[in-house]
Amino acid sequence: MTSEERAILAEGAAFARQLGSDSEYYWARHVPRFSYFLRLLRELQPHENLRRVLDVGMGFQTLLLERALPGAQIDCLGVDVDRRFPLRPGSVFHPVNLNELEPADRAPEGAAGTYDLVVFMEVVEHLLLPPEITVRYLASYLRPGGLLLLTTPNAAWVRNRLALLFGRNPFERLGPQRQEMGHIREYTRAEIEGAFASIPMEPVRVERTGLYRFRHAKDNLLSACADRLAPSLSRTIVALYRRPL
């Protein structure tokens, strides 16, 4: 990790503390993902023209994008603007409810085919629609050669398998309110690859790795063992795909 990346993460941690205990907790649990994201952006920048980026679901990654890509336009897509994460002047917010998409929906005129990178991190597991509908829709924002990055929990990670082995359901119970529903559906690597296979997209990187810091030491140990010994049992799926030229 570079000194610049460490500084960006330190700024993010300080900002999370300002937002309150819930945000600080979220930041602490997701630091490995944010670190991975910054490294990935560094790897991509010398080879890709990341001048216009679409962040799906505003959050801490919005701030990371703005710091890591100071010359890029960072736009966002979601149901509502999250005022905790102010956009730069000139940035665009696309008001879209991904749960209300139709299979034939595509990016609106003026936005279709214009983005170099679409960031779709830790969102698909919260949606009611099949991932192929969402992926197809978001891919329509990409220019030819543009990239779509998706991360999501691996439904088949080691702790879930152990829970099922002992007859316990490892997945979240749905809450009574929509905003409390949590993870609607977690996916396997094969299911995510199948979603991308339904559209003309080329894989750049597809892997399973541990990008989450758990509350309990035993879960962190399980995650570390999976990463080292059997990555197919790791917690996070990372899928980076390119729209063909």
pLDDT of 149 strictly over 80: yes
Residue 38 covered by a domain: no
pLDDT of residue 96: 97
- pLDDT value at 221 more than 80: yes
- The model's pLDDT over 32-86, given as tens digits with 9 standing for 90+, comes to 999 999 999 999 998 899 999 999 999 999 999 999 999 999 999 999 999 999 8
Q: Is residue 27 part of a domain?
A: no
* Structural domain boundaries enclosing 151: 49-242
User: Has residue 80 been placed in a domain?
Assistant: yes
Q: Report how many domains make up the chain.
A: 1
Residue 122 covered by a domain: yes
Q: What is the CATH number of the domain that holds 225?
A: 3.40.50.150
- Band (pLDDT 50/70/90 cuts) for residue 178 is low
**146 belongs to a structural domain:** yes
From 77-91, 97-111, 121-135, the region with the lowest mean pLDDT:
77-91
The pLDDT, as a whole number, for residue 159 is 95
22 is a domain residue: no
The pLDDT of residue 181 is 67
Q: Which residues of 136-160 are buried (b: 16+ CB within 10 A; e: fewer)?
A: bbbbbbbbeebbbbbbbbbbbbbbb
Backbone angles phi, psi at 10, to 5 degrees: -65, -40
In a domain, 18, yes or no: no
Amino acid, single-letter form, for residue 118: V
The answer as to whether 29 is a domain residue is no
The pLDDT mean for the chain works out to: 94
